[in-house]
Structure 1
Amino acid sequence: MRFGILTAPMQVGYDEILRVWREADTVPEIEHAWLFDHLMPIAGDPDGPIFEGWTLLSALAAQTSRLRIGLLVTSNRFRPPAMLAKIATTVDIVSGGRLDFGIGVGSRPSHPLARREYDAHGLPYHDQADAVAALAEACTVIRRLWTSPEPFDFAGSHVRLTGAFGNPKPVQRPHPPIMIGGRASATLRVVAEHANQWNIPGGGDIADLAGRSRLLDKYCAEIGRDPAEITRSIFLPVDYERPEVTRGKIAEAADAGFGHFVLGLGNPYPEGVAQWVADELIRR
């Protein structure tokens, strides 16, 4: 079982997030730390502050030395895949090879506070089927940019590149682990083909999430991949007032086969929150 934290970079100051990450970097029980990828707040004051995820991640990479780091998860709708590969390579180098590359299709149109960020930034918003197909091509292109020793062309339905080449390469070889987030069946097929890790939000029924995990096993079998190669990761919000509730969710998820836990910390962050997570949630 591996535990980490997530600090949502909205409605909060940089100094507050930095304080929590620096503390977590000294707590051995916390192995990884995450931000999310939104351009406008999805909770609280809709006009409140929010930081761009990859820029902030690079700053935090330079301020930490042990934690594995990532975004849970990058929206494939926000940045062209070749540009994203370059950004991720830069962060992997800045961190000394500690990046877990999280990616997903992007927010669904059913979440209006997420949808508005596309219109506000002039970004196109395609339907779900289109977005899933684009994610699969993005994963293919990004991995090739990380590993190909020579320039290449790529002519997909969603991504077209001429003379694409990644230099420098990431520190991690053959490339940083790819974590894909999502629960839709079509997304799970992309997970089976491309991911080293799969993450799903754990706020609902654990039995339902276990069913999603079994479906991923099925898709792996269909393409001849060992499902044990894909780490099962779950996001769980932390209840500061009732830590026993969070511990119960961790236990349920572990029984369902999840071994990688991302614990979402609400803001404001209590003093010593990283050590509190270790003492109250992990050790117990």
Structure 2
Amino acid sequence: MASPASVPRPVRIGVQIAPQHAPYEKIRDTAAALEALGVDILFNWDHFYPLSGEPDGLHFESWTMLAALAEQTSSVELGALVNCNSYRNANLQADMARTIDHISAKGGTGRFIFGIGSGWFERDYDEYGYEFGTAGGRLDALAASMPVIEDRWSRLNPPPTRKIPVLIGGGGEKKTLRIVAKHADIWHSFSDAATLERKLGILAEHGRAVGRDVAEIEISTEIGKSSPADVELLHDLGATMFTIGISGPDYDISGVEDWLSWRDEKNAHLSGVTETS
């Protein structure tokens, strides 16, 4: 029998519902439709203004929405892609995540994924009164926050229902990937195959430096406008979580079923491999 470390990961499909240009009722109904289709994860994002289209268009806040989606859903995992570390005290982030973990559990194990990044959209900072600073400074703040968040999870009463998965987003090779190597269960980036291959090598170097086997980290990337052949290359390199982004006002989910079929084909093959291992 194969050891747990040698068993390949199943493919998972996430959908990021951009909370922009649509009323909340439309977002809620889209989340329900996607859960019914069988997606693995629902994401939103942690911004205060639209990132595309009309700059002052309809927009909703991330964490309060995630709590509502946690109550609404029953099987799909959920989180932000990604929460901005700059906007909230580290201890508060941990407590909010633990609370949504419990809301989503409904008597079982929680379904919350703690996605986090250092922040980048300057308008969010300027309009809401946060100091934008520098990219390096924001990454240093993220590195400082992660041990605080992890420690707070160990002291909350009640504790989280599970070890809350930490997803860290970003591709910076010197600082971000070192934080990933130390703290992440999932690493998310926007990489083509050549870039992903190079950065996985750098992540492995950081893992050796901090004493972590980075094979423990799930590799996540965007499907975006990638062709099936492009996605196959990413999967061959070890990516197993693939996210589709959709935006209001219409939230077109017509292409999601094709990717779910691809996921199921991959996982059916994986099941056959593990049964004979």
**Normalising TM by the smaller chain, what interval?**
0.7 to 0.9
Write out per-residue CA displacement over residues 244-284 of structure 1, whole angstroms, 9 at most, x where no aligned residue: x54233212112221111121243223666545534x5457
Amino acid at match of 1:213: L
**Map 1:37-186 → 2, pairs under 5 A:** 37-96=46-105, 97-107=110-120, 114-148=121-155, 166-172=156-162, 175-185=163-173, 186=175
| 2:33 equivalent in structure 1 | 23
| 1:233 equivalent in structure 2 | 220
Equivalent in 202, 205, 217 of residue 215 of structure 1: 202
- Answer whether contact 1:23 1:272 (CA < 8 A) is retained: no
Amino acid at match of 1:167: N
Higher helix fraction: Structure 1 or Structure 2?
Answer: 2
Q: Is there any run of 5+ residues in structure 1 with no aligned partner, and where?
A: 108-113, 149-165, 240-244
Cα distance in 1 for residues equivalent to 2:230 and 2:19: 24
CA gap of 1:134–1:270, structure 2 versus 1, over 3 A, is closer
Cα distance in 2 for residues equivalent to 1:225 and 1:106: 25
Cα distance in 1 for residues equivalent to 2:218 and 2:253: 32
- SS of corresponding position for 2:40: strand
CA gap of 1:12–1:248, structure 2 versus 1, over 3 A, is farther
- Answer whether contact 1:177 1:197 (CA < 8 A) is retained: yes
Cα distance in 2 for residues equivalent to 1:178 and 1:282: 23
Report deviation, 1:170.
1.4
Residue 261 (structure 1) aligned with residue 242 (structure 2): yes
Equivalent in 10, 24, 28 of residue 20 of structure 2: 10
Write out per-residue CA displacement over residues 69-126 of structure 1, whole angstroms, 9 at most, x where no aligned residue: 110111111111111111111111111100110001111xxxxxx2112111111112
Residue 33 (structure 1) aligned with residue 42 (structure 2): yes
- SS of corresponding position for 2:130: coil
Once superposed, which parts of structure 1, at least 4 consecutive aligned residues long, lie more than 6 Å away?
none
Report deviation, 1:18.
1.5
- SS of corresponding position for 1:34: strand
- SS of corresponding position for 2:87: coil
Cα distance in 2 for residues equivalent to 1:21 and 1:277: 17
CA gap of 1:276–1:208, structure 2 versus 1, over 3 A, is closer
Provide the aligned length of Structure 1 versus Structure 2.
Answer: 249
Cα distance in 2 for residues equivalent to 1:99 and 1:78: 19
| 1:188 equivalent in structure 2 | 177
- SS of corresponding position for 1:77: helix
More displaced stretch, 80-89 vs 266-275: 266-275
Amino acid at match of 2:252: P
TM-score, L = length of structure 1? 0.82
Amino acid at match of 2:202: L
- Answer whether contact 1:231 1:260 (CA < 8 A) is retained: yes
Residue 197 (structure 1) aligned with residue 186 (structure 2): yes
Cα distance in 1 for residues equivalent to 2:170 and 2:251: 27
Report deviation, 1:200.
0.3
Q: Is there any run of 5+ residues in structure 2 with no aligned partner, and where?
A: 1-10, 266-277
Amino acid at match of 1:250: V
- Answer whether contact 2:45 2:62 (CA < 8 A) is retained: yes
- Answer whether contact 2:20 2:247 (CA < 8 A) is retained: no
Report deviation, 1:10.
1.0
- Answer whether contact 1:210 1:257 (CA < 8 A) is retained: no
